[in-house]
Amino acid sequence: MLSPRGRPLSAQGAVHPLSPDSISRLKPSHMVTERSDKLWEQLRQSTEKYDYFITGLSAALTAFVTQGLPDARMAWNAESMEVAAAISLCIAVAAALDRIRYLIAVTGANYQHLVNLEGRGRLASLLVKDGGAHLINESTGDMLSPADAHAELAERDLAIAKIRPALRRFQRRSEFAYKVRDFALVLGLALYVGARTWRAYAGQ
């Protein structure tokens, strides 16, 4: 589902509280106000900063771990754990970049959805007033016939119907990339710490 302002309502299931995809779930659609819009924007900006920070952190950790990889045969040892840690961190970086890419796609789809919803609302309001006798395109000043207005309403309905599935798809992929990124980052850190600990005790 989507809110009247064009923001997606998250699907059922656990969603990270910082995810912009889940923020509209916090308030009913009939209670959307200017203050709630400002709060949503602040949360969205905070989420973007967090995503960029995690991406930079993952890249820095990957560079740090890979530059110190030892030359050794693959076996059940500390050196192999460091290699596994580097691979996991590389996956975290790739997932972090995908997360950002899909969030940008969600924002673009939300914008297109909102533009079409607002245009449709204005046309519907004009058609209701005076039986559609006075139809003026506010952006161009052109007069519209009721037939033209109905045709544009149908076009906007078709555009909205096409945007919504794409928006949901971008949301799902963004949340999947989010989960993969965090899991791979934590796994990589755990493997690296375990490898260093193993090497320290094995050298005693």
Is the overall model pTM greater than 0.95, yes or no?
Answer: no
Residues 166-204 as b or e (16 or more Cβ within 10 Å = b): ebbebbebbbebbebbbebbebbbebbeebeeeeeeeee
Residues 92-151 have pLDDT tens digits of 999 999 999 999 999 899 888 888 888 888 777 777 775 655 566 665 666 777 777 788
Average pLDDT, stretch 49-74?
Answer: 86
Residue matched to tokens 């993952």: 58
Q: Per-domain residue ranges for the chain?
A: 20-202
Tell me the pLDDT of the chain averaged across its residues: 78
- Cβ-proximal residues to 7 (8 Å cutoff; 6+ apart), any chain: 23, 24, 40, 110
User: How much of the chain, in percent, has pLDDT values that exceed 90?
Assistant: 32
Q: What is the pLDDT of residue 187?
A: 95
In this predicted structure, the answer to whether residue 190 has a pLDDT above a threshold of 60 is yes
Residues 85-107 have pLDDT tens digits of 999 999 999 999 999 999 999 98
Q: What is the pLDDT of residue 191?
A: 92
Q: What is the pLDDT of residue 97?
A: 94
In this predicted structure, the answer to whether residue 184 has a pLDDT above a threshold of 90 is yes
Q: Which residue has the higher pLDDT, 69 or 23?
A: 69
Residues 166-179 have pLDDT tens digits of 999 999 999 999 99
Average pLDDT, stretch 6-16?
Answer: 40
In this predicted structure, the answer to whether residue 57 has a pLDDT above a threshold of 50 is yes
Q: Are 91 and 180 in contact (CB under 8 A)?
A: yes
Q: What is the pLDDT of residue 149?
A: 76
